Chains A and B, each alone.
Chain A
Amino acid sequence: MKLDSKIPSGPLAEKWTKHKFDLKLVSPANKRKYKIIIVGTGLAGGSAAATLAELGYNVSVFCYQDSPRRAHSIAAQGGINAAKNYQNDGDSVWRLFYDTIKGGDFRSREANTYRLAEVSSNIIDQCVAQGVPFAREYGGLLANRSFGGAQVSRTFYARGQTGQQLLLGAYSALSRQIGKGQVKMFPRSEMLELVVVDGHAKGIVVRNMITGEITSHSADAIVLATGGYGNVFYLSTNAKGCNVTAAYRAYKQGALFANPCYTQIHPTCIPKSGDYQSKLTLMSESLRNDGRIWVPKKKGDTRPPNEIPEDERDYYLERKYPSFGNLAPRDISSRSAKEVCDEGRGVGETGQGVYLDFSDAIKRLGEDVIRDRYGNLFQMYERITGEDPYKVPMRIYPASHYTMGGLWVDYNLESNIPGLFVIGEANFSDHGANRLGASALMQGLADGYFVLPYTIGNYLARAGYGPPGTDHAEFKRGESEAQNKIKKLLSINGKRSADSFHRELGNIMWEYCGMARNEAGLKKALELIPALREEFWQNVKVAGENEELNQSLELAGRVADFLEFAEIMCWDALTREESCGAHFREEYQTEEGEALRNDKKYAYVSCWEYKGVGAKPELHKEPLEFENVELATRSYK
C-alpha cells in the first residue's frame, strides 16, 4: 500500500499558505448541496461542525452523551498553548513547533506540527471573540503561564477549567447553527459501523441509545472526532463513556491505525483506592511547580510521612534530573514513579503511590499563597481521598491519560479511505510519541476551526455531491452487522459482566503494554488477550434487550471492540524495537535508564491494516523525513 502524506512542497513556513491556495474550493452556492456527518462533539467535532455549518454545508452531528456540551474535552484543566509571544519572552511559531516536535521525540511530521503552531494564535483570537473568559492581568490583557516544563509562558487558561470553557465556546457556536437549522443534532446516538460505498466513506450506522433503533445515515463526507482509546486500560482519566468503537469500526473497514502504542501516562493522578475503582482523577500538572515528589529511601517503610526524617527521603526526580527536577516531562516522571514503586518503595495502602509534598512551599510562601494557586485542586483531592493536603503530602500515581496514536491521516486530515476525515485525539497526526501539556486543546481546535474546513472542501469539490441512498446494499450490510453483534451479545447469557472483562483487559494492558514494555511481556499479552476475548464471547452477561435504553448492552459492545483493538497496540509496541517518548521498551535504554531511540530504523509512522479478528494486522510504514530540525536526544538532566 502506498501511503501518500500529501505534504506540500516548498519551505516549511510557507507550506500551509501555499496548500490553502492549491486546494479546490466549493462555491458558496454549491455548499448547501453537500451533506457532512460528524461523529463526536468535543473540541474537534464541535468546532468543525459549527465552522462547516457557518460555511453553508448541511451538517449532521452525533454524540453518545445527552448533550454535545458534555464531551470529555470538558475535563481538561490546565490550558491551551499558542505562540502569541504576549509575554515578550522569546516565543514564536518556530519555537512552539520545535518544542512540540522535540517533545514528541521526533516521531511526528514536520509539516503537520508546524501548521499546528502556525494556526495556534488564531484559536485564541477566535475563542476570545466567542466570549471565552480567559484569565486576565489587572491591565485587562490576557494572562499566561508556563506549563509542562516549557521555557516560555505561552499557556492561556480559564482557572482550572480551560477545557470546559473552550468546549462551551465551541458548543455555543454549534448551538447557534442548530438553532438556525444548519446542523441536525443527534444526541444519545452511538456510531456502530462506517459505510464505504465504491471505495469512499459515505455513511454510518447508528444506534439510538433510548429506543435501540438502528438507522443508517448517508453523506458526502464523514468526519470522525471520537477521541482517544485510553480506556483500553480500564482505569484512566477518560470519561467512562470514552471508547474506541467508532475508530475501530473504521479500521475494520480498511482505515489504517497509526502508532497505536503511543499512549500517554500522566504522572499526577490520584491513586487507586480499591478494586471497585471506576476511574482515576487527574490532578493538574501545575502542582509540580511547587510540590516536591519523594518516596522513603527504605523499602516497605510504613511510617506516616511526617515521621520520616529528611535524610531518609528520596526526592528521586530532583536527584536524577537536577536541572528540571520535579518538572521533568510526563513520560519521564511517570516511569520514575513506577520504578520506585516496583522497588517496593511506593506509599499508601496499595504501595502504588508517591508523595507530592507541599510542606516546603507552604513554609516558604505561606498557606495563603498556596491556597490561592491551588485551592480548588486541594479541595478536589480532599473530597476524593478524605485527606488534607495542607497537612499531609498528597499521594499521586501515573494513569492512562491521552493517546497520541489514532487513525492515519494525510496532511488534509483525510484517512486512506477517501471521504473519511479524522480530527482531534482520534487521529495520530501532531504529537509524535508524546504530547506536551496544553497541546491537546490546541490540536482539537486547530483541526476543527482552521484546518478541516479548508481541506474537506478540496475533497468535496472533486468528489461531487449527492450521497447514495441508505437502501444501498452497503448500508444494509452495516445495519445487519450491527444488529447481529447486538443479538449475539444479548444471547450469550453467561456468568460475567462486561465490566469485569474490561477490568481484566485493563490489567493485562497496564502490566504488559503500559509505562514500560518488553518483548516477553508483549508476547504474553498477545496470548492473554485472545483467550480473554474468547471467554467474553462465551461467558458475558448482558441484561435487558435492545429496544430500550440499555447501559449494560452499550458497555458490552464497547468492551468487545477494546478486546480486539488491544492486540494492535501490542503488535505495534512489539515491532517498535526502540524507546521513544511514551513508548519505553526496557531492552532499549541507556546505561542511565533513559530512552534509547533508533532513528535509523524506526523514524517512521507504523500504520496497521486490518486482516481479520485475531490475525496479525499488516504493517505499512510512512517514513518520517526531517529537513528542518536535527534529531537530537532529549535530555532533561
Chain B
Amino acid sequence: MNLTLYVWRQKNAQDKGHMETYEARDVSPHMSFLEMLDVVNEQLLLDGKEPIAFDHDCREGICGMCSMTINGIPHGPEKGTTVCQLHMRHFHDGDKIYIEPWRARAFPVVKDLIVDRTAFDRIMQAGGFISVNTGGTPDANTIPISKKAADTAMDAAACIGCGACVAACKNASAMLFVSAKVSHLVNLPQGKIEAAERVRKMVAQMDKEGFGNCTNYDECEAVCPKEIPVKFIAQMNREFLKAKFKK
C-alpha cells in the first residue's frame, strides 16, 4: 500500500516546528508502524535529508519508550497497543496519516517526535517507592497477601510510564500515571506504612511539574496501552483525602 505521512519536524527544543509531508511507498501490511518509519527514514538518509527522530527501544510493547500521536490518538487507533506493536494491516492504501509528538507543557519536545518525560521520573523520586534498604528483609512468605489484593496491585503496576495518558488528556493531567503507582503500593500491606506521605509528595511534585488536573473525561484509560483503569484515580483521590486528615 502507499501512504501519505504528515510528520511533525522540529530541530530542537528552541525551534518552532512544522508539519512536513512524506510519501511511504510499497508498505507491507505485516510491517509494524515503526518499521514503516524505518523504511521512510532509510530513504530520507540516502536522499541526503535528515531522518525523522523518534523514541523506541524494546519494540515489544513493554519499555514505554515509543511515543507518538497518530491521527490525533496517542499510540494510534488500536486499543491497548503501543505504537511499536501497531501493524500496518490496520491501515489502507491511500491513507493520510498525521504523526505528532506527545503534546503537554510538562513534556517539552526535544526533537521531532521525541519529548522529555523526566517529569515522570521526578514524581517517582518524590515518593514512588517503599523505603526499604537492601538486606535485612523478612522471609517473603512472612506476610500473606490476598490474591485479590496482589492482583489489583499488579493491575496498577502494569503501567509502562509511556505518558500516553498525559498526551490524550485535554488538561495534560498525569493522574492516571501517578495513581497507578499510588494504587500499586497502597494495595499491598508493605506499601500502607508510608501511604499518606507518598500520595502527598507525589501529588505535590505532579503539580509542580505543570501537569493539569483530572476532570473525568477518561481519555487516558481509552489510550492506555496497558488499559490501566481510571478507578485507580478514584483510589488516589481517596488516599489523598485520607492523607489530608492525617496531617
Contact = CB atoms under 8 A, between A and B. Distances in A.
Given A133-B150, A210-B110, A70 B63 contact: yes
Interface in B94-127: 110-111, 114, 116-118, 120-121, 124-127
Interface in B66-88: 78, 81, 85, 87
Interface in B13-68: 28-32, 34-36, 38-39, 42, 44-46, 49-51, 53, 55-65
B146 A140 contact: yes
A520 interface: no
Interface stretch (A31-39, A364-372, A547-555): A547-555
Contacts of B35: 276-278
B216 interface: no
Contact of B131 (A138, A176, A281): A176
Contacts of B57: 65, 70, 72, 239-241
Interface stretch (A167-175, A257-265, A304-312, A390-398): A167-175
Contacts of B30: 273-274, 385-386
Contacts of A171: 124
Given A128-B190, A276-B39, A544 B50 contact: yes
Nearest to B157: A133
A252 B163 CA distance: 39
A392 to B, nearest CB: 16
Contacts of A168: 157
B231 to A, nearest CB: 17
A168 B118 CA distance: 16
A490 interface: no
A84 B140 CA distance: 9
Given A51-B134, A281-B60, A543-B45, A159 B154 contact: yes
A70 B65 contact: yes
B87 A66 contact: no
B121 A175 contact: yes
Given A74-B62, A84-B140, A140-B146, A278 B125 contact: no
A66 B118 contact: yes
A548 B134 contact: no
A129 B190 contact: yes
A499 B42 contact: yes
Contact of A67 (B51, B121, B129, B133): B121
A528 interface: no
B56 to A, nearest CB: 6
Contacts of A51: 133-134
A86 B124 contact: no
A142 interface: yes
Interface string A56-72: 00000000011111101
A131 to B, nearest CB: 5
Contact of B125 (A175, A273, A276, A277): A175
Contacts of B63: 65, 70, 72, 74-75, 239
A530 interface: no
Contacts of A552: 45, 51
A69 B161 contact: yes
Contacts of A281: 59-60
Interface string B134-153: 11011111011111001101
Contacts of A237: 60
A502 B114 CA distance: 24
Interface in A184-215: 185, 187, 210
A245 B91 CA distance: 38
A287 interface: no
A542 to B, nearest CB: 8
Nearest to B89: A386
Contacts of A68: 121
A274 B31 contact: yes
A408 interface: no
A497 interface: yes
A67 B87 CA distance: 26
A165 B188 CA distance: 14
B182 to A, nearest CB: 12
A135 interface: yes
Given A134-B150, A277-B35, A548 B111 contact: yes
State the main secondary structure of chain B at its contact with A: loop
Contacts, number: 218
Nearest to B126: A179
Given A65-B65, A129-B190, A495-B46, A140 B145 contact: yes
Contacts of A122: 135, 137
A176 B147 contact: no
A211 to B, nearest CB: 9
A384 interface: yes
A276 B60 contact: no
B40 to A, nearest CB: 11
Interface residues of B, number: 79
B206 interface: no
Interface string A141-174: 1100000000000000011010011001001110
Nearest to A171: B124
Contacts of B204: none
B56 A240 contact: yes
A50 to B, nearest CB: 7
A164 B161 CA distance: 11
A54 B138 CA distance: 18
B241 interface: no
Contacts of B143: 128
Nearest to A499: B42
A62 B95 CA distance: 41
B137 A129 contact: yes
A233 to B, nearest CB: 15
B243 interface: no
A136 interface: yes
A140 B55 CA distance: 40
Contacts of A461: none
Contacts of A278: 32, 34-35, 38, 59
B213 interface: no
A136 B51 contact: no
B13 to A, nearest CB: 9
A75 B57 CA distance: 11
B9 interface: no
A142 B135 CA distance: 20
B200 interface: no
A168 B191 CA distance: 14
B132 A130 contact: yes
B112 to A, nearest CB: 9
Contacts of B56: 240
Interface in A208-238: 210, 237
A139 interface: yes
A12 interface: no
State the 3 A-B residue pairs at the shortest beta-carbon distance, nearest first. A140-B144, A179-B125, A172-B129
30 contacts: A50-B134, A67-B117, A69-B121, A70-B58, A131-B185, A133-B150, A133-B154, A133-B157, A133-B188, A136-B147, A140-B145, A164-B160, A173-B129, A175-B125, A185-B121, A239-B59, A240-B56, A241-B57, A273-B30, A274-B28, A276-B28, A278-B32, A278-B34, A278-B35, A282-B60, A384-B32, A386-B87, A449-B134, A499-B38, A549-B53
Given A140-B146, A175-B121, 6 more contacts: A133-B153, A142-B141, A175-B124, A240-B56, A383-B85, A552-B51
Interface of A: 47, 50-51, 54, 65-70, 72, 74-75, 84, 86, 122, 124-131, 133-142, 158-159, 161, 164-165, 168, 171-173, 175-176, 178-179, 185, 187, 210, 237, 239-241, 273-274, 276-279, 281-282, 380, 383-386, 449-450, 453, 495, 497, 499-500, 541, 543-544, 548-549, 551-552
Interface of B: 11-12, 28-32, 34-36, 38-39, 42, 44-46, 49-51, 53, 55-65, 78, 81, 85, 87, 89, 110-111, 114, 116-118, 120-121, 124-135, 137-141, 143-147, 150-151, 153-154, 157-158, 160-161, 184-185, 188, 190-191
